Amino acid sequence: MKEISNYEPQIIAFCCMHCAYAAADLAGSSRFAYPSSLKIVAIPCTGRTDMGHILKTFEDGADGVLVAGCLEGRCHFQTGNLYARQRVEHVAELLDQIGLEGERARMINISAGMGAKFAELANEFAKTISALGPTGLKKKPASRELPLPSGKIE
């Protein structure tokens, strides 16, 4: 994709509050820099992210989505991060199919004490996304959910 000078990739990082969120915080307080255009969304467990969240994040203008969970085997809910990895991989395949690069969605695993590592992985991801450039999607096209006649279906 096109090289754009001063281009700051918009990255959303879904961070598990038991590990990656604290790691990002530690990176900040220890002054390990990561891109300011990376926005963090704290979630109770990466297992909470579903494919819809990730896709809609791209629709809303993100150039890259990072899902950051605990080290494998260390998930607070045992397997939430393993589910998350499967979903991120699935989203990556879907992105390839729709003409966006699958590398724009990435799963990383990190512990709460790994502040420097968080910054390193975030910078590395930002570099990948910068190289890919903007997604080419403008603002999310108008779409709506029709109201249900009665009750709510999940």
Q: Which residues of this chain interact with other proteins, rule CB under 8 A? A: 50-52, 55-56, 58-59, 94, 97-100, 135-138, 141-146, 148-149, 151, 153-154
H or E element, residue 23: helix 20-29
Q: Is 11 within 8 Å of 38 (Cβ atoms)? A: yes
Residue 19 or 81 having the CB closest to other proteins: 81
- How near is the Cβ of 145 to other proteins at its closest, in Å? 5
Residue 80 or 115 having the CB closest to other proteins: 80
Residue 130 or 135 having the CB closest to other proteins: 135
Which one, of 39, 50, 43, lies nearest residue 11 by Cα? 39
- How near is the Cβ of 137 to other proteins at its closest, in Å? 6
Residue 31 or 138 having the CB closest to other proteins: 138
Rounded to whole angstroms, how far apart are CA atoms 22 and 113? 8
Rounded to whole angstroms, how far apart are CA atoms 102 and 93? 6
